[in-house]
Amino acid sequence: MIKKPMMGMAVLILTMPAFAAEQAGIKAQENTAATAGEEQVVTEKVKVTSILPDRLEALPGSFTVVDEKELESRRPFSTTEALNSVPGIHIVGENAFGLGINIGMRGLDPRRSARTLLMEDGVPLFLSPYADPSAHYTTPLDRVQRIEVVKGAGQTLYGPQTVGGMINFVTRPVPKEFQASVTGIIGNNNFSGGHVNIGTGGDWGGIMLDAVNRKGDGIRKNHDFEINEFTLKGQLNLDDRNTLIAKVGYYEENSSVSETGLGAVEYAEDKYQAPTGKNDSFNYERKSLQLQHIFKINEKAKLSTQFYYVDNQRASFRQINEPGSLGGRSAIERCPAGTNAVAATAANAEGCGGRWRPREFEYWGFEPRLDVSHSLFGVESDAVIGFRYHREDSQRNQYRGSDPAIQDLGYAKANGDHREDLRIDVKSLAYYAQNTFYLGNWTLTPGLRVEDYEKNINVVRAEGVAQGFQDSNKETVWLPGLGASWNGIANTTVFAGIHRGFAPPRPDRDINFDDLSGQNAISRTKAEKSTNTEIGIRSAYFKGSSFEATLFNIDFDEIVIQESAGRFINGGKSQHTGIELAGRIDFGKVYDTSHNFYVMASYTNVFTAKFKKDTDETASGNRLPYSPRDIATVNFGYSHPVGIDARIGVDYVSQQYVDPENSRIQSLNGEEGMIPSYTLLNASVTYKPVGSKATFFVSGHNLADKEYLISRVDGMVAGRSRQVFGGIRYDF
């Protein structure tokens, strides 16, 4: 494992005067149609944690902001509900409450959000951004001030995942005076939770503490879970030109959420059963540190350096390897006395063993960046120049055994069959530069990002045998981008952009464990590279209304697909083309009345999502897996200055294929066949009496209690049944 950086080194890095400023102290944003959720977006001074630029009207690409007002009025149940109205996004909610979230953009496979760059305050959230971009953690909404979604050419400054889009969870800033709040919520399915926020501040800076707890039953029986998170954030204003910001976080999840689905027969009997759920487990611990030094050179130039460190440790235990292997029913394969293929029941599970997969992921890096306004070329411009040094170290182990005692991880490590020890380290240097030219009503934004990375693989143990096999690979990738926007009509922006997308190959997928001694030991999946283009318009020209429309196209050179369980290959060329629409009308603003009835809707039509030319020609022309053609959300609401906001709406997702062959007939193991379309009914009510410090809210998901299928990745998985919760927030 990489040696943890010493604190003295971190402080030295943060105070280097030659480093550049990212979005520190960005000036107040001008009125613009930032999203379809409001007529005009007038936000407070953008913090250093934002990935959006100062002048939103100049952004040469599609984006959406789910702001604090929307989060507070809607009270989304999880990240899934917070993002499901954003056009272009498809979320597969196979776990409850946003655990292990699966987000796909513009027809891309949503599995573990691997093709969507998830960030908190500009720092990646994955287990390992290059080696294993899996999202087992997303920022709890209690700490979020707003969510920024960027899908177009504005991705040049960030990486490494840029084939789909970016989502940045912007956390609440430290207060400038004493403030505190307590939130309590309770709902069906034994759900309960709480959030405590307390902080104080002044001209010197501020400090703030967040504590979050959530627990309840999962989607399936015996899938109970509990999460806890503690975050300490501070800011120190050294003088008028220098600011230090620090954030330390600790998160833990303990759940019985199984990573396997059901066979076809089991699913037909009871969609929500989990035969081994009482013994299966997923334990996750995340420690994070983020430090920033911001130096204001003058009114037109700022310097910022960011240092981050993340330590992820996860361990999962499962007793079922192949769901539905017994004629549509699942089997437990590791049981005492040499028995094999024992029916997966709660009783049998108690007397059998299983498989532990403990994994450790550690990454850290630092990023200096310069933001400067200039007229070097005789044209008013905003420039960004920077680089990021990034290191990763991960270790993947696996222990198996038939002894029931193996259900304890400590026993498994001491007495189990040690099947796998795979170690991966990654070194990366990313350089980027971008300049926005302001040419009257026009803006032109060329940019370039260069990803220079090296991955090293050390197979210490595989299939229970010591190996000592090692391999390394280096690559330099050039990722240009160009965008333009036109603002010749009031409160309206027409934009167009093109950029090169990139997703690095995952080293763990490159190992052929069946042939470590031969020439085929490394399969060497190529990096995914794409050409992304879009053209669109966003406008709040008419009083009380706003809308956006974007036509997009993504051409992949070498898309990576799952050929079979645990085996990934480059699937050749593919194409994603579609249109995104969103809009909102506030009749209270249209008719100048305090009674505001509003309608807001979004629609995504990915009319092309196909293999253009796959590696063996068997899937050419077929539709890509987990890429529904139509996704729509419609909400009808009412709000009034007395403090009430109520809404009711529906979410629709059309049918999907789940494999490159576009199988229509359901297999007994549940992994083949269609996913039918589904429509869900949701509602929420929020009430904050005028002058009161208390806010009351009730929110409901899938109110019609519709049973629906959402995934076949590892067997059949049902979506969440009816979930209703209510709560009170009190501000001190």
Cβ-based neighbour number of residue 573 at 10 Å: 17
User: Can you say whether residue 581 is alpha, beta or left, with left for phi > 0 and alpha for psi between -120 and 50 degrees?
Assistant: beta
Cβ burial, residue 662 (10 Å; 0-12/13-18/19+): middle
User: Given pLDDT bands bounded at 50, 70 and 90, which one contains residue 94?
Assistant: confident
* Alpha-carbon gap, residue 394 to 137, rounded angstroms: 17
- pLDDT given at position 569: 67
What's the pLDDT at 4?
39
CA–CA distance, 479 with 193 (Å, rounded to integer):
43
CA distance 361 to 374: 41
User: Which tops the pLDDT comparison, 674 or 337?
Assistant: 674
pLDDT of 562 higher than 80: no
Place of tokens 């390394």: 472
- Encoded amino acid at 499, one letter: H
For the chain, the structural domain boundaries read 7-731
The Cα-based distances of 74 to 141, 148, 696 in angstroms read 12, 17, 12
pLDDT (0 to 100) of residue 257:
86
**Beta-sheet strands, E only, within 328-464:** 331-332, 342-343, 354-374, 381-401, 417-439, 442-462
User: Angle CA(689)–CA(692)–CA(693) in degrees, nearest 5?
Assistant: 125
User: Per residue in 99-151, pLDDT tens?
Assistant: 788 999 999 989 888 889 999 999 999 999 999 999 999 999 999 999 999 99
Query: What pLDDT band is residue 22 in, cutting at 50, 70 and 90?
Result: very low
In this structure, what are the phi and psi dihedrals at residue 480, rounded to the nearest 5 degrees?
-80, 160
E-strand stretches of 220-280: 225-237, 242-255
Q: Hey, what amino acid is at 466?
A: A
Distance CA 522, CA 457 (A): 10
CA distances (Å), origin 12, targets 9, 344, 497, 666 = 5, 56, 39, 59
Which of 257-271, 295-309, 560-574, 640-654 has the lowest average pLDDT? 560-574
pLDDT of residue 564: 54
The secondary element (H helix, E strand) that includes residue 414 is: helix 409-415
**Alpha carbon distance 466, 670 (integer Å):** 35
pLDDT digits (tens, 9 = 90+) for 296-306: 999 999 999 99
pLDDT attached to residue 511: 63
pLDDT at position 693: 96
Q: Where are the alpha helices (DSSP H) in 291-330?
A: none
pLDDT digits (tens, 9 = 90+) for 149-188: 999 877 889 999 889 899 999 999 999 999 999 999 999 9
- CB-count burial class (<10 Å; 0-12, 13-18, 19+) for 167: buried
- Of 58-67, 386-395, 633-642, 685-694, least confident by mean pLDDT is 58-67
How far is it, in rounded angstroms, from Cα 196 to Cα 183? 7
DSSP 197: E
What is the distance between the alpha carbons of residues 313 and 359, in angstroms, rounded to a whole number?
Answer: 6
- Asked whether the predicted pLDDT for residue 244 surpasses 50, the reply is yes
Superfamily of domain 7-731: TonB-dependent receptor, beta-barrel domain (2.40.170.20)
pTM: 0.90
**344-373: per-residue pLDDT in tens?**
999 999 999 999 999 999 999 999 999 999
Q: Which helix (H) or strand (E) holds 73?
A: helix 68-74
